[in-house]
Amino acid sequence: MREILIVGGGYAGFYTAWGLEKTLRKGEARVTVVDPRPYMTYQPFLPEVTAGSVEARHAAVSLRRHLRRTRIVAGTVTGIRNADRTVTVRSALGDAYELRYDILVVTAGAVTRTFPVPGLAEQAIGLKHVEEAVAVRDRLLTAFDRAASLPAGDPRRAGLLTVTFVGGGFSGVEGFGELLSLATALLRHYPELRADELSFHLVEARERILPEVTDGPGAWVVRELERRGARVHLNSRLVSAVDGHVVLSGGEEYDSELIVWTAGNASNPVVHNHTDLPVDARGLLVVRPDLRVGTDAAPVPDVWAAGDDAAVPDLASPVPGARTVPNAQHAVRQGKRLAKNLVADLRGRRVRPYRHSSLGAVATLGLGRGIFEFRGIVVKGFPAWLMHRGYHVLAVPTWERKIRVLAVWLTAALFGRDLVSLASVQHPREAFLAGAAAGERRATPVVDRAA
Ligand SMILES: Cc1cc2nc3c(=O)[nH]c(=O)nc-3n(C[C@H](O)[C@H](O)[C@H](O)COP(=O)(O)OP(=O)(O)OC[C@H]3O[C@@H](n4cnc5c(N)ncnc54)[C@H](O)[C@@H]3O)c2cc1C
């Protein structure tokens, strides 16, 4: 039986494994997915997780539950030596061991790209993982509680009620719009705070946001966010965030309790630095149109790749040499095509090139607000937001997930969203330790205390 090893169980890896489960005959091959996380993250839901419109657990699609015929290994691949057909895995406990394969699929995605901005590593948080989305939400809710406990006019209130997103791409704009929507809704429950105390900043280095849509709709999104009280800083960079004090390249400075970094992706380190597979200048795996690693002149036998870690030729683009953009639309379809091609190759049949014409772009800008664009057709506001929700509830894998997400949306429509910060889960033993310390004090004899 041939061993198929998939590095990374995110979008592309999950759909590859799912496709293989559906296509492989019994005994034809054994499929293993290696990922440090036991779930595939449905990243397009993360902005709604920050706003409390999607339950955090529902953005995590369990690998064990949905890939029943696949072996799931909890670990991080730290090196790929294709010459020996071996990967090195580091387990959650820190042990290192090797796994051998006959066929390799590399779908490890990308990582958050950062720059050496002073204070950034200490103060900022990303928005690529479920735990980050939950923390962003909890920090905003905690900041509201803290600001409300300070007297009006206390200068600390301004910093607590200030949010900065750095990066005006899809994830940044969606996260920003959703969090702005949550913060505005929260004000109703905090009579101690005034609307003009809220300060939301979106910082973008280029002259426009949302590169996935054309200039007109992009400019409309800026106007829409500013109409809702936000500041959009175009042609602006974060130059310092030391102790939460934001300094922008234009000279503006302010304190910001929450700094969310959404300024793009970098190549996955295991692909960029720890493999003997062919990698391009950006650190992406060189892939042929059929998703096999290598070039037409030098294909690498039995190695495939897809998703954000691969430079996949975009056959639907009129631009020669274009590569598919790193998004879920491609990762899902590449995963499905990869599974079909892998099985075809295994059975000595013809493989097909990957080709997908974009279905357009749809983004949420907060509850009831969105933007959609497809080939010159632009839809704004509530209808676009409905399209966003409709698309994603259909796109999230498995009926079980769809129904769970839909149920939360329906209950939120009836009762509103949950408004409680659970930041205290970061310190679950605090109450227990306080109780234990009080118990010790009670148990200490009075005479000892006097002594
Ligand atoms: C907030 C946000 C919103 C988004 N919204 C949209 C949207 O609306 N529409 C859209 O099309 N796209 C959207 N995207 C982009 C989309 O989610 C990604 O392009 C897509 O997830 C890429 O799929 P992938 O399989 O390549 O990588 P991922 O889905 O990131 O999966 C990579 C997997 O590999 C694992 N991994 C990483 N390194 C290793 C290693 N060394 N060993 C083992 N496993 C490893 C990771 O844990 C992860 O599970 C959004 C992204 C974000 C962050």
Residue 119 near ligand 1, beta carbon < 6 Å: no
30-83 residue pLDDT tens: 999 999 999 999 999 999 999 999 999 999 999 999 999 999 999 999 999 999
290-to-3, 11, 282, 313, 355 alpha-carbon distances in Å: 21, 18, 21, 9, 9
83-104 residue pLDDT tens: 999 999 999 899 999 999 999 9
| Cα 324 to averaged position of ligand 1 atoms, centre (Å) | 15
Q: Give the mean pLDDT of 124-138.
A: 97
Alpha-carbon torsion 332, 262, 378, 405, what sign? positive
Sheet holding 238-240, edge to edge: 238-240, 245-248, 253-255
Confidence check: pLDDT of 145 > 90: yes
76-to-37, 104, 125, 127 alpha-carbon distances in Å: 9, 15, 22, 20
Instruction: Tell me the C-alpha distance between 387 and 194, whole Å.
Output: 33
Residue 370 near ligand 1, beta carbon < 6 Å: no
Please give the mean pLDDT across all residues of the chain. 95
- What pLDDT band is residue 451 in, cutting at 50, 70 and 90? very low
User: What are the DSSP calls for 113-126, one per residue?
Assistant: -----TTHHHHEE-
| Cα 11 to averaged position of ligand 1 atoms, centre (Å) | 6
Contact 300, 278 (CB under 8 A): yes
Residue 168 near ligand 1, beta carbon < 6 Å: no
Neighbours of 21 (CB within 10 A): 15
Residue 35 near ligand 1, beta carbon < 6 Å: yes
Which CATH architecture fits 2-110+267-346? 3-Layer(bba) Sandwich (3.50)
Q: Give the mean pLDDT of 167-190.
A: 96
Instruction: Tell me the C-alpha distance between 437 and 102, whole Å.
Output: 57
Instruction: Tell me the C-alpha distance between 36 and 369, whole Å.
Output: 35
CATH 3.50.50.60 boundaries in the chain: 2-110+267-346
Which mutation among 34, 41, 43, 179 tests ligand 1's pocket best, with the greatest number of atoms within 8 A of CB? Answer: 43
* Fold adopted by 120-264+361-415: FAD/NAD(P)-binding domain (3.50.50)
Using a pLDDT cut of 90, give the percent of the chain over it.
Answer: 91
CATH 3.50.50.100 boundaries in the chain: 120-264+361-415
User: What are the DSSP calls for 320-352, one per residue?
Assistant: TT-B--SSHHHHHHHHHHHHHHHHHHHTT----
**Model's pTM, two decimal places?**
0.94
Residue 47 near ligand 1, beta carbon < 6 Å: yes
Instruction: Tell me the C-alpha distance between 333 and 17, whole Å.
Output: 13
Q: Give the mean pLDDT of 166-188.
A: 96
Q: Give the model's pLDDT for residue 215.
A: 95
| Cα 126 to averaged position of ligand 1 atoms, centre (Å) | 13
